[in-house]
């Protein structure tokens, strides 16, 4: 189905079902439970899971397949956001034209940056992409935010960020037009809350819009991984020098991967603007580039599902663990004697709330040291432990490693 093998079709089906039922899966605890604060089934966070999943999937096409580590992908994320908001300012709040422009602009920008940066490899390539991203951030923050080209607020509106104002033309808005982001009349902010017992499940249109796009781009990445083009990218990562000896030029393949990856990032930036019609230079800052690197490595670079898991893992920590303050900790340890309660709060305090980065850093170190393949490798090991299956070795393959059969001369009888 869809050009996939039966195994990949089953895999895509499972991913699709998990994505569609995310509002239920991420709401495991009743609202009255003390553990309800760990629920993640609210629209804003689910949208971020899907959007940054797209961002990480695109980055994985470059880093996971070719081995080229870019520290500048936040530039494409920001360009996608700016392009989308400009379409709101010029046309109306329909997200489709903005997303199309975001993909085109980020793709062209990635083509220019990739053409220059891919002349080098290794750490030099990484530094070049970081330099371009920093230049883009500084331009958006200052130079392009000043009055220019007859625009009062410049192209980016500087540190304030680009947003839609009442005096913007919006030529296609019309009388009584929808004043919020929508997809042909379906508002991104519209939600339906379904109470079931002690649970409340929120089904948000904005999330499902992002989720459907995420499924489509995941399918596209699956096709890329299984295609001859994907095999060429793996060859670049495996041994680029040997590839050169065969007469194949790896640069067109790496440039194509870089552009595709940049378009994924631009799409993610456009979706961020679709959920919140605002574009700021902070989306182009180097920390956003570092975040997608962490997502990919944490989930499992070079795997299909790893970047999505890594994106969800980091965004969950950022939004859930960061909200655990001292009042919550006192509620957790209220059953202890007063002295012990204070000691436990003091011990746990540095790892939650504003210190959630410390917990994430320790977990990242543990994954890198003990699970080089990321969360996907951890899940694979756990599955083998539960099922009792061991990893197949090269000698276990009867087709490529047939059992030894004695020659006629070795037999005792003729």
Q: CA-CA distance, 26 to 272, in Å (whole number)?
A: 21
User: What is d(CA 132, CA 112) in angstroms, rounded to the nearest whole number?
Assistant: 10
What is this structure's pTM?
0.90
Which phi and psi (to 5°) does residue 255 adopt? -65, -40
Q: May I ask the CATH architecture of the domain 6-26+39-284? A: Orthogonal Bundle (1.10)
Per-residue pLDDT of the chain (414 residues; tens, 9 = 90+): 578 899 999 999 999 999 999 999 999 999 888 788 888 988 999 999 999 999 999 999 999 999 999 999 999 999 999 999 999 999 999 999 999 999 999 999 999 999 999 999 889 999 999 999 999 999 998 888 887 777 777 889 888 899 999 888 999 988 888 999 999 999 999 999 999 888 999 999 999 999 999 999 999 999 999 999 999 999 999 888 888 888 888 999 999 999 999 999 999 999 999 999 999 999 999 989 999 999 999 999 999 999 999 999 999 888 888 888 888 888 888 888 878 989 999 999 888 888 888 888 888 888 888 888 899 998 888 888 888 877 655 555 544 445 554 444 444 443
pLDDT of residue 118: 93
Instruction: Check residue 120 and give left, alpha or beta (phi > 0: left; psi -120 to 50: alpha).
Output: beta
- Measuring CA to CA, how many Å separate 161 from each of 76, 81, 92, 284? 16, 10, 18, 12
Q: Residues 351, 358: contact at Cβ < 8 Å?
A: yes
* CB contact set of 390 (below 8 Å; sequence gap of 6+): 384
Q: Where along the chain do its domains lie?
A: 6-26+39-284
In the numeric block, which tokens belong to residue 281? 């230079």
Q: Which residue from 44, 52, 37, 42 is spatially nearest to 320, judged by alpha carbons? A: 37
Three-state SS string across the chain, please?
Answer: CCCCCHHHHHHHHHHHHHHHCHHHHCCCCCCCCHHHHHCCCCHHHHHHHHHHHHHHHHHHHHHHHHCCCCCCCHHHHHHHHHHHHHHHHHCCCEHHHHHHHHHHHHHHHHHHHHHHHCCCCHHHHHHHHHHHHHHHHHHHHCHHHCCECCECCCCCCHHHCEECCCCCCCCCCCCCCCCCCEECCEECCCEEEEEECCEEEEEEHHHHHHHHHHHHHHHHHHHHHHCHHHHHHHHHHHHHHHHHHCCCCCHHHHHHHHHHHHHHHHHHHHHHHHHCCEECHHHHCHHHHHHHHHHHHHHCCCCCCHHHHHHHHHHHHHHCHHHCCHHHHHHHCCCCCHHHHHHHHHHHHHHCHHHHHHHHHHHHHHHHHHCCCHHHHHHHHHHHHHHCCCCCCHHHCCCCCCCCCCCHHHCCCC
Q: If phi over 0 gives left and psi between -120 and 50 gives alpha, with beta otherwise, what is residue 150?
A: left
Q: Which of 126, 128, 106 lies closest to 265 in space, CA to CA?
A: 106
State residue 66 phi and psi, 5-degree precision. Answer: -100, -20
């Amino acid at each position: 189905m869809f050009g996939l093998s039966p195994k990949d079709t089953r895999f895509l089906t499972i991913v699709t079902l998990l994505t569609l039922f995310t509002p239920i899966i991420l709401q495991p605890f009743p609202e009255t439970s003390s553990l309800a604060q760990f629920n993640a089934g609210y629209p804003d966070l689910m949208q971020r899971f899907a959007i940054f999943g797209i961002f990480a999937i695109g980055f994985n096409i470059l880093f996971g397949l070719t081995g080229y580590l870019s520290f500048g992908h936040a530039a494409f994320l920001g360009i996608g956001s700016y392009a989308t908001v400009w379409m709101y300012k010029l046309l109306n709040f329909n997200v489709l034209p903005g997303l199309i422009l975001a993909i085109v602009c980020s793709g062209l920008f990635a083509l220019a940056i990739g053409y220059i940066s891919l002349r080098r490899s290794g750490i030099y390539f990484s530094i070049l992409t970081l330099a371009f991203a920093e230049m883009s951030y500084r331009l958006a923050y200052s130079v392009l935010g000043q009055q220019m080209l007859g625009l009062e607020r410049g192209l980016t509106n500087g540190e304030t960020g680009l947003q839609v104002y009442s005096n913007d033309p919006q030529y296609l808005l019309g009388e009584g037009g929808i004043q919020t982001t929508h997809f042909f009349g379906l508002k991104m902010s519209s939600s339906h809350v379904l109470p079931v017992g002690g649970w409340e499940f929120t089904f948000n249109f904005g999330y499902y819009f992002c989720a459907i796009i995420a499924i489509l781009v995941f399918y596209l990445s699956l096709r890329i991984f299984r295609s001859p083009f994907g095999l060429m990218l793996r060859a670049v990562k495996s041994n680029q020098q040997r590839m050169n000896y065969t007469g194949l030029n790896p640069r067109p393949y790496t440039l194509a991967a870089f552009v595709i990856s940049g378009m994924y990032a631009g799409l993610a930036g456009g979706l961020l603007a679709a959920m919140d019609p605002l574009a700021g230079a902070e989306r182009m800052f180097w920390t956003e580039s570092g975040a997608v690197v962490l997502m990919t490595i944490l989930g499992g670079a070079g795997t299909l599902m790893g970047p999505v898991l890594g994106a969800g893992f980091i965004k969950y920590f950022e939004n859930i663990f960061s909200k655990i303050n001292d009042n919550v900790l006192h509620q957790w340890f209220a059953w202890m004697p007063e002295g012990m309660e204070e000691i436990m709060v003091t011990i746990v305090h540095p790892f939650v709330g504003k210190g959630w980065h410390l917990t994430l850093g320790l977990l990242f170190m543990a994954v890198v040291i003990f699970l080089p393949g990321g969360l996907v490798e951890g899940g694979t090991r756990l599955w083998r432990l539960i099922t009792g299956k061991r990893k197949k070795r090269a000698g276990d393959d009867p087709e490529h490693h047939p059992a030894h059969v004695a020659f006629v001369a070795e037999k005792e009888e003729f």
